[in-house]
Every structure is written in structure tokens, then in C-alpha cells.
Structure 1
Amino acid sequence: MTAAQPAGVEIVEVGPRDGLQNESTLLPTATKVELVERAIAAGARRIEAASFVHPRLVPQMADAEAVMAAVPRRDDVAYSGLVLNRKGFDRALDTGLTEVNVVVVATDTFSERNQGVTTEEGLRTWEDVAARAHDAKIRPVATIAVAFGCPFEGAVSGDHVVQLARRIADSGPFELALADTIGVGVPTQVTELLGRVGEATGARLRCHFHNTRNTGYANAFAATTAGVSTLDSSIGGIGGCPFAPNATGNIATEDLEYLLSGMNIRTGLDLDQLSRTGTWIGEQLGKPEVPALLGRAGPFPPK
């Protein structure tokens, strides 16, 4: 599947959830809310703000309800939350989220370590949560994790991912996201897998890339040329999966914005505000430098 360069790309800001969940510093609720507020001021209109998981497993997300109670409520801002099971969905339902994101892991080993279930059990959870979300008028989003490779089982077959995608599509996802959870994919893989999944499901596709091996931005570009118009990224490039060995950050929103805007692809984001926020969140986390490079190098041409 190939397509012309899109005029615009929608960015889902995942820093408040996927960004913070892998950081050792536990931030107070007020700081998390400020991160959301700063993201909105920078133009973000879809924000993954919380994860409704067991606080013992991911203590960084223990205050999910408090965060959602304090974030700004605007008609033009959609909030998403990660849920892994029915209990998580029930918690999320009471917080006024626009959408829920359910992760289905492509390999049993990673799924059992990450969520305590097999891939098949994860699929059944998705089917249950998707039905309940539709009933509640909440958008159900499914993410296929380790779609390009698993740290425990190695390469993941494209045929297997397509089979999972077909099963997920049967439950009517608002979006189907392919996640390179450990940052092993390359652009040719991205283009091929997106084409196959798109053809097999007809679903609205989204991508979630990590920059573990410095291919995240090339993969993001490949996704846009393959017709994907929604990408996840994290301000500052912070985060990663706490259950993935040697995990490093997500692709950084400010660096992604520099790439896309330089190609005349609109995102609605403000580069300067993103860069300042990336530096700020690094300070809150005790990091002299975040993975994002724009805050250090600055835009070009300089203003």
C-alpha cells in the first residue's frame, strides 16, 4: 500500500501515559496535569492521559482517577486511557474518557509478562471491552504490541499480525494501532505490514514507534507515505515499556513535528512550545537532557 504524502497528520500525545510509566521518578498529580495542560497549549488535541492498571505493577499510574478529575475539559480535546481488562475499563468509564486503548500483545511470552494473559486471552479481553465501550459510547482503540518483534520470542510473523488484526477488526475498533514496542522495525517492514493489515481489515490505522534503535522517525515517515494519518509520540521522547528489556523512549513529539512541518505536513502543533515542554518535563524527572534533540539543537532556521 502506497499513498501520496498526506497534507496533515494527527498526533496522539502519549507522554502523560506511555511517557511517564517507564520513568523511575514518581511525579505528583499536579505535575502530570500540568504536562497535559502544556501539551494542549502546544496544540495537542488527542492525549493519552492515564493508564488504569494495578498500581503495584505500574506505580507511576496509581493516580489515574485523580489526574482525569483535574485535566482541562474542552470540546476540542479527546482523552484516552489504557485499559488491560474489564476492571480497568470500569475504572476508566467513570472518568469521562473519550476513548479507551486496549493492548493485544502479538506474542504469548511478552503478553504474559506484560499483562498476565496469553495472546488469545488478550483478544478475548479486547472483544469484551470493545463491546462495552460501544455500549457506553466510548471509542475503542486496539493496539497490537510487539508487532515488529518481541524481546523474548524474536521476529514476529507478518501473517500472525494480520490474523490478529482481522480478529480485532471484527469488534469494530475506532482505530487499530501497530506498535513497535521495542523499536526493532525498519521502514520496509512498516510499509509492508501496514499494507497487509489495511487490505485485510479496512480499519483506520495508527502507528506507535519507539526509537530504541534510532529507526523511529524513519518508520514514522514510512507510515505516513503508506497512508497512515495518525501517529503516537511523546513530548521529550520520554518513556517506554516497563516490561521490555533495554527499553528506551518513544519518538519525541517535538522532533516528529520538526520532521513533518519541514515536509509541509500539518499537525496543528507549536514547535517552540513542544520544545520548551520537553525541557520542562525533563527537569521534573531530574533529567539534564531528554531523548528529544530539538530542545538542544533548536529549530532551523533559528528564530
Structure 2
Amino acid sequence: MTRLLKDQFTFPIGFGGAAVSGEGGGYGFGNISENDSLHLLKEAYDLGFRLFDSAPIYGFGLSEIRIGKAFNQMRDKVFITSKSGVTWNSNRRVDMTNDPKVTEKMLEQSLRDLNSEYIDLFMIHWPDAQVDIRKPLEILARAKHQGKIKHIGLCNTNLSDLEKAAEVDNIEVVQGQMNLFETAVVEQLFDYLREKEISFQSWGTLDKGILTGSVDKKREQQKKYDESDCRKNAPWWKQSEVIEKAQKVEKLHQLLKQREINPLSFCLAHNLHYPEVDMVLVGTRNSQQLRSLLEAHKALPSKEQVSEIMKEI
């Protein structure tokens, strides 16, 4: 058995599709037009990105639609991931459920929005204490048998759900939050992932801009975000936590400056130096950010440097 993402990709950075959800709202990060989105997605491909991550809630479908349009004529050249479990009603009130009927409905809608006959990797977005994970997994296993999805994964999961899901079908990827401030998955899941040879893919790699300084104390206090940026009003984006993190990042940046290490390179290296991490997801909204990612990946600090600096912050 081999690890899916490690074997399929030489470039370990995936494109975070929430960044192109634009004016659609939902779990998005600010306005970006359709034309700019399509140009950015195609440029990302030209620069070496091959995995494009999305979910229906990103822009209430807009992210998937744009990714589908960008790669409609070259579908077999890219690896597209999507998810089920975070849905909404006609008033765009968000609901989270792994009801198997909802899972099936969301999968079919994603196929339509992506304008694709299949999705490379389809995942359950979040755990649901009200639904046995094996029930939506049965839907995904059947869809996999039908060729509608190629691989199955879980996001933001726990060990219990992971073990239960594996009773139904092969779980090949786990996606979870991981960065300098958030490493719970290391203790909770990495032993199991290593034993079962399951790929881990991190989201929140830059902690929504806090770690690189694009979100600092001043910006947060003044709430300088687009109206369509979920960081403006989301209940989970708590100002006190953001400001506390931003203060720690100030010290981190001082240490990195002394050693001439790029903060973006440091954030990528922190995750990628874990052997269980096969890919990191990062959202970019313009060409400059894309190219900065590439340059940062070329200059990763060593594992020893990362450990040394982490002890000082």
C-alpha cells in the first residue's frame, strides 16, 4: 500500500479554493471576480499546482463552478477535491450534517457545479455527532464503485470516526487544521495515519494570514476586510485570539529576520518537515501571492532551524 498524495504529487502545495469564492460569500476570503479567478487558477496550473481543493460552502457553490470552468478542457490534468456536510438553506443559513441523503445530494450538486463526470477526492467535511460516519461513507463507497469519485477522505476528523469509516471503504486522505499554533492532529492522528499509510493534508497552514503578517493587530482591530471576507464577521474568528496570536507572530518575525528566513518559507517548512504531511493547502488571491509561494518553497529552512525557533516563541 502507498500514500495517495505522496505518490501522485511532486509539488506539495495545493490550491485552496476558498480563495476564489469571491462575491459568493460563505467560507470565502474577499472579493475576486470570475475573470480574475479563472486567470489565477490557470496561472496556478502553469506554475506547477495540480491539486485544487474546494467545497460547496466556498462561495455557496461559486468556488466549484469557477474551478470547473477553469479546467473544463483539461480535466484529466488536474486533481480536484471537494466535500459534503456543510450545507445551507434558501436564506443561506449554514447547517452542518452528515445525513446520507444530504451527502448524496451534495455530491451530485458538486459534480454539476464542477461540470465533471467525477471528482478525484471527495471527503466528509466535519464530524457529526448525530450521524454514524459509516452511513455517509456507504454513499461515498457506492459513488466510488460507480466512478463518480476516485478516492475517499475525511476532514477535521477524530480517531473514532476514522476507524469506523475504514470499516466501509479505504480512507486515503485526512485533511485537518495544522500550523504553528495548531498541532493537535500530530498527537491525535499521526500514529494511526502512519500505520495505515494515509496521506495527511493540512489546511489553515498560514492560519488565515496571521502567520505571514497579512492579518496583524491593527488590521484586526479596524476590521479591514471585504464584505465577502468571512474574517469580517464569522463567529469562530475571535478578535481576542487573533490579536494574541498576532503578538506572538511579531516575536516570530523578529527571530526570522535575524536568521534571514522568509516567514512564508518557515510556515510551509513547519508542516512539511513532518513525514506524515504529504501536502499543505494555501489560498492565494493574486499572481504575486502565487509566485511568493513558489519562491518560499524553494527556500525552506531545515527541520533543525524550525525546531530551534519554535522553542523561542
TM-score (ref. length: structure 2): 0.54
The answer (yes or no) to whether the contact 1:194–1:226 under 8 Å persists in 2 is: no
Secondary structure in structure 1 of the residue aligned to 2:73: coil
The answer (yes or no) to whether the contact 2:52–2:79 under 8 Å persists in 1 is: yes
1:99 shift after superposition: 1.8
Distance 1:218 1:63 in 2: 25
Distance 2:197 2:267 in 1: 24
The answer (yes or no) to whether the contact 2:84–2:123 under 8 Å persists in 1 is: yes
Q: 1:235 to 1:182 in 2, by over 3 A?
A: same
Distance 1:256 1:47 in 2: 15
The answer (yes or no) to whether the contact 1:46–1:78 under 8 Å persists in 2 is: yes
Q: Confirm whether residue 139 of structure 1 aligns to residue 150 of structure 2.
A: yes
- 1:226 counterpart residue number: 275
The answer (yes or no) to whether the contact 1:17–1:61 under 8 Å persists in 2 is: no
Aligned length: 215
The answer (yes or no) to whether the contact 2:177–2:205 under 8 Å persists in 1 is: yes
Runs of 4+ in 1 over 6 A off after TM superposition: none
Secondary structure in structure 2 of the residue aligned to 1:262: coil
- 2:299 counterpart residue number: 262
Q: Confirm whether residue 101 of structure 1 aligns to residue 113 of structure 2.
A: no
1:13 shift after superposition: 0.9
The AA in structure 1 aligned to 2:275 is: A
The answer (yes or no) to whether the contact 1:10–1:230 under 8 Å persists in 2 is: yes
Percent of pairs identical after alignment?
A: 11
Instruction: List aligned pairs for 1:188-267, cutoff 5 A.
Output: 189-199=184-194, 201-212=196-207, 214=211, 218=267, 221-236=270-285, 257-263=294-300
Q: 1:179 aligns with which of 173, 176, 180?
A: 176
1:119 shift after superposition: 5.8
What root-mean-square deviation, in Å, do the aligned CA atoms of Structure 1 and Structure 2 show? 3.9
1:31 shift after superposition: 3.1
Q: 1:88 aligns with which of 88, 106, 114?
A: 106
The answer (yes or no) to whether the contact 1:47–1:80 under 8 Å persists in 2 is: yes
Q: Confirm whether residue 51 of structure 1 aligns to residue 48 of structure 2.
A: no
Q: Give the number of the structure with larger relative contact order, counting CA–CA contacts within 8 Å between residues 6 or more apart.
A: 1
Runs (5+) with no aligned partner, structure 2: 1-5, 86-102, 212-248, 250-263, 303-313
- 2:27 counterpart residue number: 22
Instruction: List aligned pairs for 1:121-160, cutoff 5 A.
Output: 121=132, 124-136=135-147, 138-145=149-156
Per-residue deviation, residues 114-154 of structure 1 (Å, max 9, x unmatched)? xxx54635553234224313421522342332x5xxxxxxx
Q: Confirm whether residue 32 of structure 1 aligns to residue 37 of structure 2.
A: yes
Per-residue deviation, residues 137-186 of structure 1 (Å, max 9, x unmatched)? 522342332x5xxxxxxxxxxxxx22222223334446322311898414
TM-score (ref. length: structure 1): 0.55
1:51 shift after superposition: 3.0
Secondary structure in structure 1 of the residue aligned to 2:154: strand
The answer (yes or no) to whether the contact 1:102–1:142 under 8 Å persists in 2 is: yes
The answer (yes or no) to whether the contact 1:82–1:101 under 8 Å persists in 2 is: yes
Q: 1:8 to 1:131 in 2, by over 3 A?
A: same
Secondary structure in structure 2 of the residue aligned to 1:52: coil
